[in-house]
């Protein structure tokens, strides 16, 4: 397994609050790495550090062997790393197709407009937005906007996709559909780093899981290993004895 | 672009502007259309920053004024021919804009908007103290300079046609950018700069390029305009009122569209003409502009074109 | 040397009033993310208010403070409803253009009616001497009143319910709404308060210097510089930024013609924005 994204001793504080503290882990090519942790554990902050929204106080981020620490977001995107947002950021007055075309034009392959449109169309179809191509992004439903967020990132022909709570706000059918889309993305060889609160979903999707708590790595391993780890259970539920009991009952 | 109807609509507008005064023989019409052309040039190019990238440039007049100064100066003492002087003005101003842009475009929203006023004021202060350019009294051009063009009467016509040409270029430039990859990136920046950056749009470079591109044609126009007046002084060249009017025009017509600035310029000039002839209101030009802008921003933020698109969506395919 | 120190001290006194002006701007900016481009004309309104009240009503200049404060608040409320209310939540471009257009209208009407003449309000107060230099009593009293107002603002924001509501809305408008705070009322109140501060600062400045109806631009730029120094939405930072600006002015004015002061302040503005966009006097996290 070749390492694709290397997080090395990363730290970030906001005026005395240690959002991320000496965090290290690796995401490999072609794998789905799940990132879980209680609210406020620092997961979105980690994404922001990786794709350059703000620079870390310490540590390094390496992507495909290249040090990308602190690089501006557009340069990170050019290297093949795409990301979605927890609170979706559609380009409101543009259509679905135009939104995806932006992703395709400025992503890794830096496509010219005509070819970008084709890649955009393909990405929109892939996530299930084929009959919404000409709809303005502002008029989409929440599930449409979530799919658009994903399609835009896909259109960029990236090598690693960072998904931030793509399932939040969706009903069970929509969740199932989205999980299917994520699996098919992985089948294309694209690696995925996914933040998710829906335990069942992320446990079944991920090859490996990293657990974050208060900015530090709490545990790392396969879903089964992590689910059985007492410290993880305690972090989520607060009482290992209770958790074990519930775990036994489940 | 040639296959789209709008391309030919622009060509038609250029033809009308060029031919109407010739056919009617009316100098008054020519002067009126000349003013309209200048408004359209200023507004269309401003639209690149305001309508596409979403950055308010209060001081866009600085390109017009500085272009005027460079051109008039080069025509005077160094004795350059008109075409070379005008072109040099355009190139110098847009290169300067590129460098300045890279700096001040790190500022967002209101900060950027205010710094554009600062840029205008700083350039005006510099020019007013710059002796080779006449300082605060300005520069005069001898009417002998109209001789190579066939005398003053003929020169005025030639200048007019050039300005119409620049107006056409401004419209085509807006159009060309809008349908290009560069334009898509700018529009994304205008929608949500942070999201655009995450998607890979090279925001600092694109903004600076837009700022620079929005400087070139107004600088050319400034060169020709002040050559025609044969006189330039700081107070006229860097008059903020002009750029404020350009903002009102862009918002009135519909920011982000190409037809918008042109239509806005037409309506605005009509209104302005009426105001100037009416005794009560002639002092209130800026007040009227301000009130109009307020109404547009509050009730019709997408401007006239936005309203038209809302009512008749098919128009969008023809008038962009 | 003592001349420079005297100049600096005087600069600090005057600068505190700039800080007061900036407090109004930064309060509005911080609470509703709106840049009030009528700020300059509101400062002038306060100046003009002082002139009208002393010339035609015969009030003692400092007795004009309460009416200017209240009048400013009411004007602020009106401005909010006319130009700001519908812009909340829209792209920043819109509120910028909206307040800007109101400013055009106000200045346009003002100069059409009263022209661009110089107004001067004569205020005589005994000064404080220090060696060869006298610090004008007006400067000292203006600084003292500024300190009092700033203290009142602090107490208001931190010890009263409306004040805390303002801070809550500034922190997180959605959360504040969920807790039952009437956000629209709070926003309009905060806007009125910001404008009131601008008017009062204008009134105080008018006790120090003559003015024209176009003076607003100068003081608006100073307010922006101060806001940037102090960090957005940070009234305490604004006060300190004002004092810092006054200090810079005190250092610069003995050596340079007055027309250059503004250029330097503007350059400072741009430099600080590029180097430390979070503000120089901020203590909070970005």
What are the φ and ψ backbone dihedral angles of C37, each rounded to 5 degrees?
Answer: -80, 5
CA C152/CA C165 separation, integer angstroms? 16
Q: What length does chain B have?
A: 320
* Mean pLDDT for the stretch of residues C194-211: 94
Element (H, E) at A66: strand A66-67
| Residue segments in chain A with a per-residue pLDDT below the cut of 70 | 237-250
Q: What length does chain C have?
A: 286
- All residues of chain C having their beta carbon less than 8 Å from the beta carbon of residue B46 are none
Residues 6+ apart with CB under 8 A from B254: B51, B260, B263, B264, B302, B303, B304, B305, B306
Nearest CA in chain A to C283: A15
Residue C177: per-residue pLDDT: 85
* pLDDT interval class at B152 (50, 70, 90): confident
Give me the interface pTM, i.e. the ipTM: 0.88
CA A216/CA A10 separation, integer angstroms? 10
Q: What is the pLDDT of residues B93-121, one digit of tens each?
A: 999 999 988 888 888 887 888 888 888 88
Nearest CA in chain B to A82: B199
Of the candidate ranges B81-95, B264-278, C82-96, the one whose mean pLDDT is the lowest: B264-278
C122 interface with A at CB cutoff 8 Å:
no
Tell how far CA C98 is from the center of its chain: 20
A125 interface with B at CB cutoff 8 Å:
no
What are the φ and ψ backbone dihedral angles of C272, each rounded to 5 degrees?
Answer: -60, -40
Residue A244: per-residue pLDDT: 60
Q: Taking all residues of chain C, what is their mean pLDDT, rounded to a whole number?
A: 87
Sheet containing strand A208-213, strands side by side: A81-83, A160-164, A191-195, A32-36, A208-213, A216-221
Nearest CA in chain C to A15: C285
CB crowding C11-41: b at 16 or more within 10 Å, else e: bbbbbbbbbbbbbbbbbbbbbbbbbbbbbbb
**Which chains lie within 8 Å of chain C at 3 or more CB pairs, if any?**
A, B
Residue A249: per-residue pLDDT: 44
- Answer whether residue C51 shows pLDDT above 60: yes
For residue C30, which of C172, C144, C152, C149 has the smallest C-alpha distance? C172
| Angle separating helix axes B203-229 and B181-191, nearest 10 degrees | 100
Asked if C93 and B122 come within 8 Å (Cβ–Cβ), the reply is: no
Q: What is the pLDDT of residues B206-223, one digit of tens each?
A: 999 999 999 999 999 999
Residue A166: per-residue pLDDT: 92
- All residues of chain A having their beta carbon less than 8 Å from the beta carbon of residue C283 are 15
For residue B216, which of B48, B56, B77 has the smallest C-alpha distance? B48
- All residues of chain B having their beta carbon less than 8 Å from the beta carbon of residue A83 are 198
- All residues of chain C having their beta carbon less than 8 Å from the beta carbon of residue B104 are 270
A93 interface with C at CB cutoff 8 Å:
no
* Mean pLDDT for the stretch of residues B150-167: 91
Nearest chain B Cα distance for residue C282, angstroms: 18
**Residue B64 near residue B237 (C-beta atoms within 8 A):** yes
CA A233/CA A231 separation, integer angstroms? 5
- All residues of chain C having their beta carbon less than 8 Å from the beta carbon of residue A45 are none
* Mean pLDDT for the stretch of residues B279-301: 83
Of the candidate ranges A1-10, C161-170, C274-283, the one whose mean pLDDT is the lowest: C274-283
* Mean pLDDT for the stretch of residues B281-290: 76
What sign results for the dihedral spanned by CA atoms B80, B84, B87, B92?
negative
Backbone φ/ψ region at A16: left (φ over 0), alpha (ψ -120 to 50), beta: left
Structure tokens at A77: 């995107």
**Residue A167 near residue A36 (C-beta atoms within 8 A):** no
**Which chains lie within 8 Å of chain B at 3 or more CB pairs, if any?**
A, C
- All residues of chain A having their beta carbon less than 8 Å from the beta carbon of residue C285 are 14-17
B300 interface with C at CB cutoff 8 Å:
no
The fold adopted by the segment(s) C2-275 is ABC transporter involved in vitamin B12 uptake, BtuC (1.10.3470)
For residue B293, which of B239, B240, B246 has the smallest C-alpha distance? B246
A13 interface with B at CB cutoff 8 Å:
no
Residues 6+ apart with CB under 8 A from C70: C196
**List of long-range contacts for A47-50, beta carbons under 8 Å, 24+ apart:** A47/A83, A47/A162, A47/A164, A47/A195, A49/A10, A49/A12, A49/A20, A50/A5, A50/A7, A50/A76, A50/A81, A50/A83, A50/A162
Residues 6+ apart with CB under 8 A from B49: B55, B56, B57, B60, B210, B211, B214
For residue B139, which of B259, B227, B24, B247 has the smallest C-alpha distance? B227
- How many domains does chain B fold into? 1
**Residue C14 near residue C208 (C-beta atoms within 8 A):** yes
Backbone φ/ψ region at C279: left (φ over 0), alpha (ψ -120 to 50), beta: left
Residue A28: per-residue pLDDT: 93
Q: What length does chain A have?
A: 250
Q: Concatenate the DSSP letters of all residues of B161-219 into one string.
A: HHHHHHHHHHHHHHHHHHTSHHHHHHHHHHH-HHHHHHTT--HHHHHHHHHHHHHHHHH
**Residue C201 near residue C190 (C-beta atoms within 8 A):** no
- Answer whether residue C232 shows pLDDT above 60: yes
Nearest CA in chain C to A13: C285
- Answer whether residue C162 shows pLDDT above 70: yes
**Residue A106 near residue A156 (C-beta atoms within 8 A):** yes
Residue C263: per-residue pLDDT: 74
B156 interface with C at CB cutoff 8 Å:
no
Domain ranges for chain C: 2-275
**A38 vs C106: which has the higher pLDDT:** C106
Other beta carbons within 10 angstroms of residue B236's beta carbon come to 15
CA C186/CA C173 separation, integer angstroms? 10
Residue B157: per-residue pLDDT: 92
Q: Taking all residues of chain B, what is their mean pLDDT, rounded to a whole number?
A: 90
**Which chains lie within 8 Å of chain A at 3 or more CB pairs, if any?**
B, C
Q: What is the pLDDT of residues C128-154, one digit of tens each?
A: 887 778 888 888 899 999 999 999 999
What are the φ and ψ backbone dihedral angles of A213, each rounded to 5 degrees?
Answer: -145, 125
SS (H, E, C) A1-64: CCEEEEEEEEEEEECCEEEEEEEEEEEECCCEEEEECCCCCCHHHHHHHHCCCCCCCEEEEEEC
- All residues of chain C having their beta carbon less than 8 Å from the beta carbon of residue B109 are 35, 92-93, 96
Nearest chain B Cα distance for residue A233, angstroms: 34
CB crowding C259-282: b at 16 or more within 10 Å, else e: eebbeebbebbbebbeeeeebebb
Asked if A103 and B199 come within 8 Å (Cβ–Cβ), the reply is: yes
C187 HSE (CA, 13 A, CB side) = 23
A88 interface with B at CB cutoff 8 Å:
no
Residue A144: per-residue pLDDT: 93
SS3 of chain A: helix, strand, coil, percent, to 5: 45, 25, 30
Of the candidate ranges B48-57, C19-28, C163-172, the one whose mean pLDDT is the lowest: C163-172
* Mean pLDDT for the stretch of residues C9-36: 91
- Answer whether residue C270 shows pLDDT above 80: no
CA A46/CA A56 separation, integer angstroms? 9
**Residue C110 near residue C44 (C-beta atoms within 8 A):** yes
- Answer whether residue C180 shows pLDDT above 80: yes
Structure tokens at B43: 């507004």
CA B172/CA B184 separation, integer angstroms? 16
Nearest chain B Cα distance for residue C223, angstroms: 12
B195 interface with C at CB cutoff 8 Å:
no
- Answer whether residue C240 shows pLDDT above 80: yes
A80 interface with B at CB cutoff 8 Å:
no
B154 interface with C at CB cutoff 8 Å:
no
SS (H, E, C) B15-56: HHHHHHHHHHCCHHHHHHHHHHHHHHHHHHHHHHHHHHCCCC
**A233 vs C45: which has the higher pLDDT:** C45
Domain enclosing residue B283, as ranges: 5-318
CA distances from B210 to A16, B1, B95, B225, C98 (A): 40, 20, 12, 23, 24
For residue A234, which of A218, A210, A248 has the smallest C-alpha distance? A218
């Amino acid at each position: 397994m070749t390492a694709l994204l290397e997080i090395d001793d990363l730290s970030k504080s906001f005026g005395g609050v240690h959002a991320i503290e000496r965090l290290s882990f690796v995401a490999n090519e072609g794998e789905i790495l799940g990132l879980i942790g209680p609210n406020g554990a620092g997961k979105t902050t980690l994404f922001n550090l990786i794709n350059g929204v703000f620079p870390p106080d310490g540590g390094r981020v390496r992507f495909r062997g290249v040090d990308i620490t602190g690089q501006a977001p557009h340069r990170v995107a050019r290297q093949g790393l795409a990301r979605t947002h927890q609170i979706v950021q559609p380009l409101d007055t543009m259509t679905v197709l135009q939104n995806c075309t932006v992703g395709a034009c400025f992503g890794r392959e830096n496509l010219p407009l005509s070819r970008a449109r084709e890649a955009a169309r393909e990405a929109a179809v892939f996530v299930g937005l084929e009959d919404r191509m000409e709809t303005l992004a502002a008029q989409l439903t929440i599930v449409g906007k979530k799919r658009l967020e994903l399609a835009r990132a896909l259109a960029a022909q990236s090598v690693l996709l960072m998904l931030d709570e793509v399932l939040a706000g969706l009903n069970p059918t929509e969740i199932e559909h989205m999980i299917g889309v994520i699996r098919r993305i992985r089948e294309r060889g694209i690696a995925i780093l996914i933040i998710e609160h829906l335990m069942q979903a992320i446990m079944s999707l991920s090859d490996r899981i990293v657990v974050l708590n208060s900015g530090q790595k709490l545990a790392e391993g396969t879903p089964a290993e992590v689910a059985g780890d007492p410290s993880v259970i305690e972090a989520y539920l607060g009482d290992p004895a209770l958790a074990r009991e519930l775990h036994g009952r489940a | 672009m040639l296959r789209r109807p709008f391309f030919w609509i622009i060509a038609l507008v250029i033809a009308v502007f060029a031919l109407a005064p010739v056919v009617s023989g009316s100098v008054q019409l020519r002067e009126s259309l000349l003013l309209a052309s200048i408004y359209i040039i200023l507004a269309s190019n401003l639209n690149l920053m305001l309508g596409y990238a979403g950055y308010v440039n209060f001081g866009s007049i600085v390109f017009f004024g500085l272009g005027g100064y460079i051109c008039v100066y080069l025509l005077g003492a160094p004795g350059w021919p008109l075409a070379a002087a005008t072109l040099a003005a355009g190139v110098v101003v847009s290169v300067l804009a590129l460098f300045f842009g890279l700096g001040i475009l790190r500022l967002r929203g209101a900060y950027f908007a205010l710094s554009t006023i600062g840029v205008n004021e700083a350039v005006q202060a510099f020019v007013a103290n710059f002796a080779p350019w006449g300082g605060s009294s300005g520069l005069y051009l001898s009417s002998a300079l109209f001789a190579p063009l066939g005398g003053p009467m003929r020169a005025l016509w030639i200048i007019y046609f050039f300005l119409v040409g620049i107006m056409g270029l401004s419209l085509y430039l807006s159009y060309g950018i809008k349908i290009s990859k560069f334009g898509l990136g700018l529009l994304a920046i205008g929608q949500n700069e942070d999201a655009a950056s995450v998607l890979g749009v090279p925001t600092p470079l694109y903004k600076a390029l837009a700022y620079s591109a929005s400087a070139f044609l107004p600088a050319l126009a400034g060169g020709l305009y002040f050559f025609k007046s044969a006189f330039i002084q700081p107070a006229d060249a860097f008059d903020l009122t002009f750029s404020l009017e350009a903002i009102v025009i862009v918002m009135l017509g519909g920011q982000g569209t190409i037809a918008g600035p042109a239509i806005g310029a037409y309506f605005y000039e009509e209104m302005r003409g009426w105001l100037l002839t009416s005794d009560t209101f002639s002092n209130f030009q800026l007040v009227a502009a301000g009130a109009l802008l307020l109404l547009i921003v509050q009730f019709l933020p997408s401007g006239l074109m936005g309203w038209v698109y809302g009512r008749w969506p098919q128009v969008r395919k023809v008038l962009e | 040397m003592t001349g420079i120190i005297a100049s600096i001290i005087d600069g600090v006194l005057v600068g505190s009033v700039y800080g007061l002006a900036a407090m109004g701007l930064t309060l509005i900016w911080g609470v509703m993310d709106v840049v009030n481009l009528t700020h300059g004309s509101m400062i002038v309104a306060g100046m003009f208010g002082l002139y009208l009240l002393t010339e035609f009503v015969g009030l003692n200049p400092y007795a004009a403070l309460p009416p200017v404060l209240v009048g400013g608040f009411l004007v602020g409320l009106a401005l909010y409803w006319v130009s700001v209310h519908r812009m909340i939540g829209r792209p920043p471009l819109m509120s910028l253009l909206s307040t800007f257009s109101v400013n055009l209208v106000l200045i346009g009407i003002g100069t059409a009616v009263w022209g661009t003449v110089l107004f001067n309000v004569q205020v005589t107060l005994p000064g404080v001497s220090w060696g060869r230099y006298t610090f004008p009593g007006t400067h000292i009293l203006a600084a003292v009143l500024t300190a009092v107002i700033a203290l009142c603002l602090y107490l208001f924001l931190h010890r009263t319910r409306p004040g805390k509501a303002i801070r809550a809305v500034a922190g997180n408008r959605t959360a504040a709404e969920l807790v039952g705070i009437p956000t629209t009322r709070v926003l309009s109140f905060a806007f009125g308060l910001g404008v009131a501060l601008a008017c009062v600062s204008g009134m105080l400045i008018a006790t120090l210097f003559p003015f024209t109806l176009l003076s607003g631009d100068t003081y608006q730029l100073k307010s922006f510089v101060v806001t940037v120094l102090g960090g957005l939405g940070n009234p305490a930072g604004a006060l300190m930024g004002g004092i810092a600006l006054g200090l810079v002015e005190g250092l610069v004015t003995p050596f340079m013609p007055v027309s250059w002061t503004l250029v330097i302040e503007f350059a400072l503005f741009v430099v600080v924005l590029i180097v430390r966009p979070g503000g120089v006097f901020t203590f909070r996290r970005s």
